[in-house]
Structure 1
């Protein structure tokens, strides 16, 4: 009887290890997702603007005249910080803010829609993800080249005086 219990116990351990192996394989494969598997983004607090951090999908903005004070306490950036025909990546908030034409500001997720890497630069009218060389338009976040097929997600911003506020 004891041998039968040991055999059953050994079989249970093998079954358990086989299951864990399968879970490990599934986890490893999940890292190689598709565009539909890209992580969702949310805004965080306390981010510092950076250039060279990846950008995500989306392009939404509300523009107001870029004059006056604005709410600096909640400001993501000053309008003067965002170059015309360029933009700035805010890695902590997971967004990229662009200024396609003078006085027009757009905001997108900084996460590439191809495989979820953050975008790395904004320059010359393009948002670039260096992971797989996807390039997006600063005007609407649409892919212009590379493997990405979906636009960056739009994020809401408001221009209050000379301040750009997320949300």
Structure 2
């Protein structure tokens, strides 16, 4: 996965879509693809942000933080581990 790139996977517990991103070389993050405003699916990261097509909320692709509302809660974050060339989605973090 290139820097700024992403991969969509599924949460093994809920089946919800999750985006794994690499905002900086060697830094991997994963966020729920479900908008915290109304539950719509956010679009794949572009220009460092995940955008919700339903009401315009935008989230930082490196932190999951709200950049632009109406959402007020960040996207839920998952752990990600790297072993060689393999990335593994960890549990949902609180």
User: Could you say whether these structures have the same fold, taking a TM-score greater than 0.5 normalized by the shorter chain as the test?
Assistant: yes
Residue 140 (structure 1) aligns with: 63
Gap runs ≥5 in structure 2: none
* Structure 1 residue 93, shift from structure 2 partner: 4.9
Note closer, same or farther for the CA distance 1:101–1:123 as it changes in structure 2 (3 Å cut).
same
Contact preservation (8 Å) 2:9, 2:19:
yes
CA distance in 2, matches of 1:115, 1:125: 22
- Secondary structure of the 2:51 match is strand
- Structure holding more strand per residue: 2
TM-score normalised according to structure 1 size: 0.48
Choose the corresponding residue for 2:3, options 75, 84, 106: 84
* Structure 1 residue 110, shift from structure 2 partner: 1.1
Structure 2 residue 82 is the aligned partner of structure 1 residue 125? no
CA distance in 2, matches of 1:93, 1:162: 24
Number of equivalent positions:
86
* Structure 1 residue 86, shift from structure 2 partner: 3.6
Residue 166 (structure 1) aligns with: 89
**RMSD of the alignment, in Å?**
1.5
Structure with the larger RCO, 1 or 2 (CA within 8 Å, 6+ apart): 1
Residue 5 (structure 1) aligns with: none
Gap runs ≥5 in structure 1: 1-81
- Structure holding more helix per residue: 1
**Structure whose CA Rg is larger:** 1
TM-score normalised according to structure 2 size: 0.81
